[in-house]
Structure 1
Amino acid sequence: MDTLDKTDWDVLIVGTGLQQSLLALALSRSGKKILHIDENDYYGGAEAAFSLQEVESWVERVNKDPASAAFSQASFEKPTPAESDPPAPSLSPSRAYSLALNPQVIYARSALIQRLISSKVYRQLEFMAVGSWWVYSPSASAGDEDASDSSSESSKTSKLLKVPNGREDVFQNSELDFKAKRALMKFLRFITDYEEQTEVWDACRDQPFPTFLSEQFKVPVALHAPLLALTLSSASSSNTTTQYALPRVARHLRSIGTLGAGFGAIIPKWGGLSEISQVGCRASAVGGAVYVLGKGLGDISDDQTESQGAASGIKLCLKDGEAITAGWIVGESSPNQPSEPSCKTITIVSSPLTSLFPPIADEAPPPAAAIVFFPSGSLSIPDPPDDQQELPPVYINIHTSDTGECPRGQCVLYSSTSLAGERGFQLLHLATDALLSSVAETPPPTILCSTQYQQRAEATDDITPETPNDHVINFAPTPLNLAFDDSILDRVKPVWEKIMGEDTGDFLVFEDREAYADDDE
């Protein structure tokens, strides 16, 4: 389409992040005429996935205007391989990689999965199983089976301890004594229906989760870290409260077995949540939506929106000067109350890290992701922050080549911590080095390239979209959680209902546009 000004649009959606893409899908399939634009030349917004060349270009763009962006302090480093015979491992061509800015696991009981099924979008997606959770221990201690002892002198007693994946793992664990097993089983029985047992935890809701485990269930200190790992909390252990931890541990345990034996979480293939955004956009186009990348919206004056309503349409100007008319405008705001930025790194390593991906269970799919948790206090950096008693944890989400994000024989390490600034990056690099030295791989894994950046989110839990006036709506930025947050759907649905009015129907529930044979499912 050469020009857009010959059509009056029901809704103009700005940005192709997940929230906007889900809204466009819901509206286009509900009969609305949608124009969906993004000034970027890629889909996904803060959830985008890039090739190596695109990562380098993105880093340059971030550093040109760091003050107003959700991202800052980005850098890209590609070490020069040392000369050797045989040649040292090296990077593959740029397009062999699809690196996600904000990878998240999706729990099997997430409402997102049900919406992908009801909208029929799931047919264009492929998901991979998340396998084992691991806990880094700087010294040998009672726990589960380990991936490997460290080979380096500085951390030769460090281990990666496998987190028990349920009752069967607890009973089979020979390193746990009877008292520890009994305490852990008591807690696991409690967590299955903790909501009905408020007398056990309500008075302790603001108590640190490790304190609750010790006082209420006599869980040994050595088992606190594995349970904290399941919360995916970015806060230090002393700042992870009981009321925060309980629903998240329950989410993990209740999800196991829902989609298959032995696992409870999945990730989208080919680039994380960005793949869901792109598939949603393609499905919206089938419903009649028009997508234009590389085209942004110009400034909107108050007079423009106050003097015009949905009935007549709001006259707008795109950044290239093209004029359009739309009844509604939906975008995404910058953080109004920005939180402290989280530090993140993306590291490509020259090893499949096979020891971190043991089989999940009989008849289970091969795992394509694993999570390594570095508890508060397990790592130390020079000049730690004075305003904290302990450093926050680090999570490393490891993706195999089966995800389509890197070539065979390599892995992608996505690391994150809530500690900001240079000390945050120091902590992440220390965790990466500790991980690579704690696994037994031949030849030893080396770092092929790495990217680091800071990312900000909204500091408030309020999910209510901003409405500068009746026909302009701005979503709050998406959460930076390590697991998909179903509150995103709770943000999108009310906006869809508001635009649709009384003629809403069911949210993201669509009939097939064509007949599918059983083999197509």
Structure 2
Amino acid sequence: MESLAGTSWDVVIEGTGLQQSLLALALSRSDKKVLHVDGNNYYGGSEAAFSLQEAEAWAVSLAATPVAPFSKVSLRKAETSTSSAKKLSPSRAYTLTLSPQIIYARSKLVSQLVSSQVYRQLEFQAVGNWWLYENTSGVFPAAHEAGTLKRMPNGREDIFSDRSIDVRAKRGLMKFIKFVVDFENQTGVWETHADTPFVEFLSSQFQLPPSMQTYLVALTLSLEPPGVTSVRYALPRIARHLTSIGVFGPGFGAVVPKWGGGAEIAQVGCRAGAVGGAVYVLGTGVSDADTGSTAVSLKLTNDEAVQSEYYISSQDKAIKEINSDTPTVSKLVAIVSSDLSSLFVSTVEGAPIAAVAVVAFPADAVVVDGQSSTHPIFIMVHSSDSGECPQGQYVLYASTTNIRNPKGRLEAALSKLLKSADAPRADAEGSEQDAVLFEMYYEQSRSSTSNLASSTSCALPSSSLDLSFDDSILDDVEDAWRRIMGSPETESPYMVFETREQLDDDDDNGMDGL
């Protein structure tokens, strides 16, 4: 490849996260000369996905030297077992993602993947059953004590057939569902309550009991306490959940990309960008940027100097110090050998077998050292159908925020889940802790710096910490594209492409290392 400095670049993009990858694709198809660099030796940035060996290397590196947006990284592997079911398979049998976000069918991302033809290179798997963890004994149960996993109703048919919901609660729940799917046209019902706690709104307006309030709050995937989650926040999320069910098939409303979540979308976007003429270089970042009024002079970490009309970076670079005011989510990734197949049993005729199940632990459900948590915990359970682990094993992604001893609470929630879902096997073959083959903990932060764009540069926001894909980040990508194109109205519509022939496997068209 010729020297990067010998080319006149329209745009230099730093980082190969999902946002940057989609922007590079859009610009390359708009006839812009794009140089796309990443200081990492892998694609995906904060959405990256790793083999087992790569995950270990990543964890060891960041444990020694934290790099924003990640901190407090630690790793634990189980002792080697003689049982094939209780030992790790070769490294490449796993794909552990840093972004296990679910994507709703009613999502702008799905629409853009379709209009850009990127979806043709992706394989999606269903997100199926949703479960709510309930303690079965005492106000302060033991940290590893088994409770009950209650399947959350996933629509009107589920509600009618659920005998644990009394008639009065069903009536209120059906009234709420009828309202929420059309909430945008019923502002008179909720607008004056927009900033009040959602649970209070459910109680006062729909007379729903606490058990139903807990269920509906869980559907929002909010990591905040129930008393903090507002009506304004909750209504669009529940509406999206309910209206997405059945769009792609019966029994489910959300999907995940097979083989690595957001990383798979980012990498496919990079491949499509290369087809459009973008040039990709891994292991090379930007060490210095001089943004003038008409052009940008960039010094790369490989000591080359390049000129560009526009420079795109990430607000992650603005994270110099992580403190109590920095939005942060605590995450635990675990590979387990427990039999969790019961979480994936479908009750809807014609529904596909899901690859992902969602388990919600309400606030106060997990007690550690005699103290309950004020924040909920969510665990996304990925089966081998996700392409992320061998058959007979599962990858669990646990998340929470703003709690004391987050690692201990996530581990306690994991233990409770394994005991609840796999009690017979755990009793017969040993404790549930023996089933945890691999565990990686880390905390991920998000820059709260505002996006100050200039005539020659801008920084895309940090990756969302949400458990479902946040469509609002796509608005920032489109805004950057329009800034660079120079006009809000262009001849070519944004992210709408005709199908192109894909590259041969041996022709990387500048895809260095992909």
* TM-score (ref. length: structure 1): 0.89
Cα distance, 1:420–1:37 mapped onto 2, change above 3 Å: farther
Deviation for aligned residue 1:107: 0.4
1:479 to 464, 482, 485: 464
Deviations 1:261-280 (A, max 9, x none): 11100000000000000000
Partner residue, 1:331: 313
Deviation for aligned residue 1:176: 1.6
Partner residue, 2:27: 27
The answer on whether the counterparts of 2:144 and 2:412 sit within 8 Å (CA) in structure 1 is no
Distance in 1 of aligned mates of 2:461 and 2:84 = 49
Partner residue, 1:144: none
Partner residue, 2:99: 102
Partner residue, 1:194: 183
Cα distance, 1:265–1:7 mapped onto 2, change above 3 Å: same
SS of 1:483's equivalent?
coil
Distance in 1 of aligned mates of 2:269 and 2:256 = 16
Q: Which amino acid in the other structure matches residue 70 of structure 2?
A: F
1:274 to 257, 263, 266: 263
Partner residue, 2:13: 13
1:79 aligns to 2:68 (yes or no): no
Partner residue, 1:439: 421
Aligned pairs for 1:369-380 (under 5 A) are 369-380=356-367
The answer on whether the counterparts of 1:342 and 1:455 sit within 8 Å (CA) in structure 2 is yes
Cα distance, 1:352–1:285 mapped onto 2, change above 3 Å: farther
Deviations 1:427-486 (A, max 9, x none): 1011000100101366336111100011101347x6xx332x320111121211000011
Aligned pairs for 1:34-433 (under 5 A) are 34-66=34-66, 69-81=68-80, 89-139=86-136, 155=145, 158-300=147-289, 304-306=290-292, 309-310=294-295, 314-334=296-316, 335=318, 339-359=326-346, 361-382=348-369, 384=371, 391-419=374-402, 423-433=405-415
Distance in 1 of aligned mates of 2:137 and 2:164 = 11
Partner residue, 1:505: 492
Deviations 1:280-328 (A, max 9, x none): 000000001110000111212xxx422x614xxx332211211222111
Deviation for aligned residue 1:383: 6.8
1:489 aligns to 2:474 (yes or no): yes
The answer on whether the counterparts of 1:360 and 1:366 sit within 8 Å (CA) in structure 2 is no
Distance in 2 of aligned mates of 1:440 and 1:509 = 47
Deviation for aligned residue 1:363: 2.1
Deviation for aligned residue 1:497: 0.8
Cα distance, 1:52–1:258 mapped onto 2, change above 3 Å: same
Q: Which amino acid in the other structure matches residue 376 of structure 1?
A: A
Distance in 1 of aligned mates of 2:310 and 2:54 = 32
Cα distance, 1:171–1:39 mapped onto 2, change above 3 Å: same
Residues paired across the two proteins, number: 486
Distance in 2 of aligned mates of 1:393 and 1:48 = 25
Q: Which amino acid in the other structure matches residue 486 of structure 1?
A: D
Partner residue, 1:466: 452
The answer on whether the counterparts of 1:81 and 1:88 sit within 8 Å (CA) in structure 2 is no
Partner residue, 1:146: none
SS of 1:238's equivalent?
coil
SS of 1:367's equivalent?
coil
Cα distance, 1:447–1:122 mapped onto 2, change above 3 Å: same
Deviation for aligned residue 1:504: 5.2
SS of 2:367's equivalent?
coil
Cα distance, 1:63–1:420 mapped onto 2, change above 3 Å: farther
Distance in 1 of aligned mates of 2:440 and 2:224 = 23
The answer on whether the counterparts of 1:131 and 1:360 sit within 8 Å (CA) in structure 2 is no
The answer on whether the counterparts of 1:105 and 1:482 sit within 8 Å (CA) in structure 2 is yes
The answer on whether the counterparts of 2:49 and 2:260 sit within 8 Å (CA) in structure 1 is yes
Deviation for aligned residue 1:2: 5.0
SS of 1:452's equivalent?
strand
SS of 1:488's equivalent?
helix
Deviation for aligned residue 1:14: 0.5
SS of 1:466's equivalent?
coil
Distance in 1 of aligned mates of 2:223 and 2:144 = 27
SS of 2:421's equivalent?
coil
SS of 2:459's equivalent?
strand
Stretches of structure 1 lacking an aligned partner (at least 5 in a row)? 142-149, 516-521
The answer on whether the counterparts of 2:143 and 2:368 sit within 8 Å (CA) in structure 1 is no
Distance in 1 of aligned mates of 2:165 and 2:74 = 44
SS of 1:133's equivalent?
strand
Stretches of structure 2 lacking an aligned partner (at least 5 in a row)? 427-431, 503-514
The answer on whether the counterparts of 1:263 and 1:360 sit within 8 Å (CA) in structure 2 is no
Distance in 2 of aligned mates of 1:194 and 1:49 = 37
Identity of aligned residues (%): 47
The answer on whether the counterparts of 1:134 and 1:372 sit within 8 Å (CA) in structure 2 is yes
Partner residue, 2:505: none
Deviations 1:30-74 (A, max 9, x none): 1111110001000000010011111111112213332x5110110
SS of 2:4's equivalent?
coil
Distance in 2 of aligned mates of 1:381 and 1:93 = 34
Distance in 1 of aligned mates of 2:198 and 2:11 = 45
Partner residue, 1:518: none
Deviations 1:67-99 (A, max 9, x none): x5110110110020456xx56610001111110
Deviation for aligned residue 1:352: 4.4
The answer on whether the counterparts of 1:40 and 1:293 sit within 8 Å (CA) in structure 2 is yes
Deviation for aligned residue 1:195: 1.8
Distance in 1 of aligned mates of 2:496 and 2:133 = 43
Distance in 1 of aligned mates of 2:219 and 2:477 = 27
Partner residue, 1:145: none
Cα distance, 1:125–1:360 mapped onto 2, change above 3 Å: farther
The answer on whether the counterparts of 1:23 and 1:492 sit within 8 Å (CA) in structure 2 is yes
